[in-house]
Chain A
Amino acid sequence: MDQELAVVLAFRRVLERTAEGMGVCQSLVRELGDAGPAGEEVRRRVLLGLSPGFALLPVSNGRSAEASMLASLVLSSRNSSVVTTGRKGETLSNLAERWVKARENQRLEARVRRARSMLASAVDGAVCSMIATIGPLLGSLANIATPSTMAPGSLLYPGAAMALISSGLLGVYTSGRGFYLNAAVTGAVYLFVSLAVAPLAIIPSSIWAIK
């Protein structure tokens, strides 16, 4: 099970126990055992005699907003009634569980989006490479009367820069800091295609003589 979800479910059990009348520290020790490293740390701190405020710091300062929210709820119960907070907290714990599951789904969708962007980057690298390699030849064929003076490899570097910039930005859009993977895929495909297609771009001088 996802650790974040395990912590949320453990806090739900803590709220249930407190609603039944059990003390906050006792329920934390009993229920947070299976909640991963953060839960274990909270348990250890409670057993060492620290107050719940200090004991819950690893969860309330943790990355999971939902677990932090439930930890804050448990802490807030000290100012009112632990039993009432435990009862009222059931709705919040249900919502927190739903949010964690929804985020897990979003994570899976983001992975699919990353794969799609990687594929688009690879195809972009291939197409840009082909245009940059064969482009000067195509440009000269477009106007046979006045052939272009474009050198065969003149577009290779600008083409590579354009392909890398676009795939890098696509990577930033879909995967944030993982953008370098998109750029690396584009660069590799660009290099491979330009090496493979390069022989086609070299025109024997006899063809120009025929023209």
Chain B
Amino acid sequence: MFTSMRKLEVDPLRLVALGGAISFAAGAVVWLLLGDLMGAATLEVDIVCAALVFYVVVSAPRRIMDARRISQSREAVFLATVSAASAQVVGSRNRVIIMLRSRDEEIDRALAGVRKALFLGFSAEEATLKASSRLASYSASNALRRAGLPSASMSEGGEETHGLEISGQMAAETKLPVFMTAAFFTPIMLLLYAVFSHITEPQQLVELVALEVILLDLAFYVCS
């Protein structure tokens, strides 16, 4: 988590403070919305909602980096292939790096930074090392670091993509039953609560529906 924060240039303390503030605000909103609907369990429900909001906010950088890693690891293979093919023909590492383009936004931005550094007189090693440290995918980072060298490896990005695909499938297999359980049992439990607590007022019933929306939304973001 801290690696992703560092790569996105996000201060961990600020993110924690932001998460705390947002979760406090979310807890207050839930408190105001529910009132005394849940009786003695109001505090617990409030704490659970605030904790889930905090997790969603603090884990945002990791989610962003995970999403970027897949596209970058795929692009790494392309970058390595073009770079190796051009290096054999062109002969100049700087010229190869200047010619390189990428369809991935982040890699293209990093390549633009490298080009700028080369034009300013930095060596290829220095320029690529600095730009590659910001990339989410290690194979994209390696491909950029070895750009323009004829010995660039093309299999690394494939291996990373394969690993990411497997981990993505496993994550989906784990998260789907969790969300399905939440989506299945939340309305049932809330309806049973309404029945046995004799909740008949329309306003209280609307509050129960609102509570369901909040809980399911949070479960959705945590599981996605």
Contact = CB atoms under 8 A, between A and B. Distances in A.
Tell me whether A and B are bound partners. yes
- How many A residues touch the partner, as a band? 35 or more
Contacts, number: 152
B56 interface: no
Contact of A136 (B74, B184, B195): B195
B186 A166 contact: yes
- Secondary structure call for the B interface: helix
A138 B224 CA distance: 37
B220 interface: yes
A155 B81 contact: no
A69 B216 contact: no
A138 B196 CA distance: 8
B88 interface: yes
A150 B191 CA distance: 13
A167 interface: yes
Contacts of A172: 220
A92 B81 contact: yes
Contacts of B179: 170, 173
A85 B224 CA distance: 39
A123 B181 CA distance: 12
B210 to A, nearest CB: 10
Interface string B63-91: 00000000100110110011011101110
8 contacts: A116-B176, A117-B180, A120-B183, A165-B212, A169-B216, A173-B176, A173-B220, A174-B176
Interface of A: 65, 68-69, 72-73, 76-77, 79-81, 84-85, 87-89, 91-92, 95, 98-99, 102, 106, 109, 113, 116-117, 120, 123-124, 127-128, 131-132, 135-136, 138-139, 142, 148-151, 154-155, 158-159, 161-163, 165-167, 169-170, 172-174
